[in-house]
Each structure stands twice: as C-alpha cells, then as structure tokens.
Structure 1
C-alpha cells in the first residue's frame, strides 16, 4: 500500500535526508529548468512526489522510495510529440538505435529521430542534474516505427550487465502516443504467493495454476498490481542489478493489436558516482 505524503515526510526527517534550505534550493532549481529544455516540460510535483524526490535526491538507493516508482518527471511538448509520431509512421518495421560512441561522434546532420534523441538526452540530463546529482550517463537507445510482437517480451528489468557492481540506478523512459509500458506497482516482496505465481507467468510468459499469461495480465491490471505508464511522459524508474537497498522496476511492453501500432520509445540509463569520485558532472 502506498504511504501518504505525511508518512514520507516522517521518513525524511528520521533519516535526516535534506534540511529546509536544501529542499528550497532543490525546488527552485527545478522551477528554473523549463526555459533551458528543448522538447520537455518538467512536471509540477505534488507534495507527496516532492517528498519522494527529496528522498531520492539525498540517497538514490532507498528501497522504500523505489517502491513508489515509476513516477513522471516531464511531458513532451505537443509539437515534439506530433513530429516524432508522424516520423515513426513512415516506417513499417521497428528501427532500434543504440546511443554508443559511434552514434555520439557521427558526422553530418542527424535525421529526425536522432535529432529528437539528442534533445531528449540533453533535456533529461538537465533534469537528472537537479534530481539525482550523482547520476552520470551509462547507456541509452531509441526505437521507432511499427511495433508488432509475435512473441511477447515478458516482465523484465533493465540490468547493467557491463557493470556487475552496479546496484539501483536511475533510468528515464518515454513512449510516444501509443503503447504505454506496464509495470509492477508497490513493494514486490509484499505480494502473496498467488500473486507471485501470476507475476512469474508474466516474467516467463508461461501458464501457471492461476491461468494463462494473457488473462493474468488483464487481471493484474484490473487489480492495480500492474499499472500502465502514460504515453508522452518521461518516467523515472530504477535499473541496475539490484541490492538489498534497491528495488529494480519490473515492466513489460504493452501488446499492440493485430497489425501493430506506430510509436517511438526513448531510454536513457545512468550510473551513480559518489561526490568523492567526481566533483563535476560529465554527462554526454
């Protein structure tokens, strides 16, 4: 069960996360972001979400705070949504591009989607510089076109296979116009054995005593055990390899209808550095 904003504030006070001056500075920095962003509009956080943000800002690997993620931190501006979606509709299959050194150092004028990915990267980096100052870019990718799923991609988490020591890490994802991603809500450890079995069905897309995965997904959506990320929003989640102090977000792509749907997807994952490691942000 989600905790109230008052309970979150009690948690913040008990851990001594942020003093009043730091909280004010954080909120002022967030309010000043909008003019600097190219395609995103920062969310105006509720008091409950501010309590969560302040907690993650002080120490990102806070498992209790992770049980309240994903949460929206920004929305795409309407003109950006429109152009991204119209460009995605020009393709009858899915094109996936990884943001590696070759992509970052590519010569020439970027195509439409690469240009928007660069804007997304820059805007999300600006926001993460406020929300989680210890975050540094790890990896990212984007995909666009007509999405069809002949074999369902089951419930999964975004790991950091290249860094076995990586624990809970920030990751920001977004879906444009269609196919919002589903995720498991709340504290995973609190689910009863029957629900755990149902989640196993979604993870491996197999039959279990409780039923078939297609029906189980619909049942868990009705219950609210599984929820859906809104489209056109940037969602802050948890990636990495997990630890006692983290809960990695488990999610599953929404299944398109027969014939598929056009959409676009953006993802940017971060690693965490201590203040002793680097005193200067070096985001790509």
Structure 2
C-alpha cells in the first residue's frame, strides 16, 4: 500500500487539491485506517483519543462503529481530504520521493551542462584571442623590419646615385629604426630573450646610426662597396627579425626554444 501512495503522489503532484477515487480507496483501505487516524491526530483534525472505531472530532459530533471512517469522510469531507492528503504525502516522503529533492536534482541536471558549455566557450574564445595577438605581433615585426630595410635602401641608393652631389637625409632611416626597436622591445616582454636584446643593442648602436652616414664621399668604387656591405647587413638583420616573428607566432613557449639564447647572424658578420 505504501508503494501505491508513492504512485498516487507522482500522478497527482504536490499541488493536487481534489481527492480522487484512488486516494479515497487508499486512505480507507483496512491496512491504512490506523495510519489515517494517526495522520488526523497529527494535523489536529482528530482528538488524540481517537481510534479506528471511534473518531472524536474537536468541538463537533463524534463518529463511532465499524463505519466510523466512512461516515467521517461523508459528513466532514474537508477534514477527511486534508487528512488523506497528509497520509499520502507522508507515505511518499517515507519512500524518498520528496518533490523538493527531485527539483534540486533537475536543477543541477540542466545547470551543470550550461556552466560547462559557458566555460568551454570562454576558453575557446580566449585561446583564439591569444592566437590572434601572437599573429598580430609577428606581422608588426615583419612590417617594421621591411620599412627599415626600404628606408635604408633608399638612403644607400641616394648616395650611390648622387655621385658626390647632395647628401641624402637619414630622417626616414632613423624613424623606421626606432619603430623596429619598439616592436622588438614589445616582443621581448614575453620573457628572457637574449637574442632579441642583442638585436636591440645593435640597432641602437653606431652600426645603423652614426656609422651608416660615414665614408660615402670616397671614390665611386668605395661608395659601391659601402652600399653592398650595408645591404648585406640589412639582409641578415631582416632574417634575424623573421626568426623573432616566427617565435612570436608560435604556440611553443619561449622557454622551450633554445634558439632564444643564440647570437644573431647580423651581429656575427
């Protein structure tokens, strides 16, 4: 009979107000009469001295005899329904079918997947954003190196083609060099990177500064040899910067790259 109560509560739900035939049969069954009386006593509908054959109603007429419960149900239907609902609910709770506990479980079953999905989306978005930042930094380095190469080539070409005439301006060379240094310094923020630090030092030194504007007023052969030497240095410098750009765009951590401690070829030669 207890199992029947559980099924009944499941079908009716905790909000059920009407008492259907199944509930009436359950509550008036022989095995459930005593629990019904106890339920009535517990909720104050029946007096504590009530028994199955003698239902004592506070401040009202009593019901006695073998049909006491049937008479009670007929003449005081409101009290009977209230008590029957209490008995059915207690039977269901005794079987562990608390609606409150079930609703909590249902809440978790949809909440946990939503939270997990949101976390995965955030992780994927952050990974994509990090990848975009790395590629952007690598492109910035390549552009800065190309601009410095072009500005220096124009300066060198100006000397070669001037044949002792006007002196070319170093303004574009100096500005593009500063931009390249700035991009390299930004890349070095990733961690200890001796390779980049050496490139910054040589760019800030005399090799691409004061020395670049010297020794252009000799013979045509001297000027041509000077131009070839500068362009050769530029080629090696751009190759070194490309190595830095590749590292910046890579997913491999900088600390796992032994090449970060190498000496740039543009310094060796």
CA radius of gyration, larger in: 2
Normalised to the residue count of structure 2, the TM-score between the two structures is 0.26
When you count helix as a share of all residues, which structure comes out higher? Answer: 2
